[in-house]
Copies of this chain bind each other. A is one copy, B any other.
Amino acid sequence: MTATLTNSRDAALLERARHVIPNGMWGHMATRAIAPGYPQFFSRADGCRVWDVDGNEFIDFMCAWGPNVLGYHHPEVQAAALEQLRVVDCGNGPTERVVELAELLTGTLDNADWCLFQKNGTDATTASVTIARAGTGKRKVIMAKGAYHGAVPWCSPSVVGVTEADRAHLMTFEWGDIAGLEAVVAEAGDDLAAIILTAYRHDVGRDQEMPTEAFLRAARAACDRSGAMLILDDVRAGFRLDVRGSWARYGVKPDLATYSKSIANGWPLACVAGSDRARDGADKIFTTGSFWYGAVAMAAALTTVRILRDTDAIAHTEAMGLRLRAGLDEVAKRNGFRLRQTGPAQMPVVLVDGDVDLRIGNALCAAALRHGVFLHPKHNMFLCAAHGPAEIDRAIEAVDAAFGDIIAAGFVPA
């Protein structure tokens, strides 16, 4: 028998929310956009677990959609943040923390000579494009079709409220297609300011794809030839694959790299890290925000990045991801289904083979929720350092039970 997921408080809150929040909730955390059955409101998080407002407990594989990299309420990170909060967060200027953090990051990240800090990933991607244009004096920006670089007019996945002019100088190509990239670079001619690429292809609803070294080298060479800036958008993957940045393993150096989500283990912060090649543009632009100098998030980032650098947190998380991947494959097979599990093990996309309309995946994830595991049917998920073998094995058992539930409900492999 399927455990039931109580949701009376969630439903009541959603009803109140519909009056005072457009659609009841906006953006990527609007659960109506995920699949039926997901709770909208949460009351608690700890380690690798979250609790919804009805008290349902889940082993969490979304990690706040990325920010939680070490575990919710990581004691050392929280201690550093609270110690800073005791003296000052936002004052009339920054604190020593901004210098320490810029020094730590330039000493840790590949090809980073300087940093600027913001609050949103979108702040960082937007600033990096502005810096590239300021430094090169050129206008065209090339990105991969369907890649997510933020939610403002120049790059939003929705064009509602966006004018053609907002994207007049944006050019696209198919991720990974070297000839396609070369063609659009040629089209940009001598007006190419930047190529911006996510760390790897992590578009929603499809198999993830790691870059080939040849693809990254082609992008680097195109920028070198044309004087353009190569921007690594590491907002989603940064500090999860490699503390040096997600392209360090390929030996391909970005001129500008953007970080946010996991940089401070949940405290709001973003960063543009640039090389000296991009410093001139950074010197020239005006970019700022009321809370961008806040020291508490920087104190949290200092501790988070040091832990990621000095411990096996990333390797452990990857190992847990591999354990989950193997277990899910096995329970799927045992239940007569086949999974497509792609991307880094610590940022998995799990799709049911042949499930083109996601009907099976949605039902499976809804069933997994009822068995205490929070998965996502089409977006990449996130593991954190607080996941241990016990939680992974418990999650695999829950998915096994969820397969049983959907089979009992009449679902068959596509």
Residues of chain A having any CB pair with chain B under 8 Å? 13, 16-17, 19-23, 25-29, 31, 39-45, 50, 52-53, 60, 62, 64-68, 72, 78, 85, 87-96, 98-99, 102-103, 106, 113-116, 118-123, 126, 129-135, 139, 151-154, 156-158, 160-163, 165-166, 168-169, 235, 260-261, 266-268, 274, 279, 281-294, 374
Contacts and interface: CB of A to CB of B under 8 A. Distances in A.
Given A21-B102, A66-B290, A67-B291, A95 B43 contact: yes
Contacts of A165: 139, 165-166, 168-169
A21 B64 CA distance: 29
Contacts of A266: 89-90
Contacts of A151: 286-289
Given A22-B114, A102-B17, A157 B95 contact: no
27 contacts: A13-B96, A19-B114, A20-B102, A20-B106, A21-B99, A22-B116, A23-B283, A26-B288, A29-B293, A31-B93, A41-B95, A41-B96, A45-B87, A45-B90, A45-B91, A53-B96, A65-B92, A67-B290, A89-B266, A119-B291, A122-B289, A130-B162, A132-B161, A135-B161, A152-B152, A160-B284, A165-B168
Given A26-B287, A121-B290, A283-B23, A93 B163 contact: no
Nearest to A134: B161
A260 B289 CA distance: 10
A98 B288 contact: no
A235 to B, nearest CB: 8
A17 B39 CA distance: 45
A331 to B, nearest CB: 23
A166 to B, nearest CB: 7
A21 B290 contact: no
A92 to B, nearest CB: 5
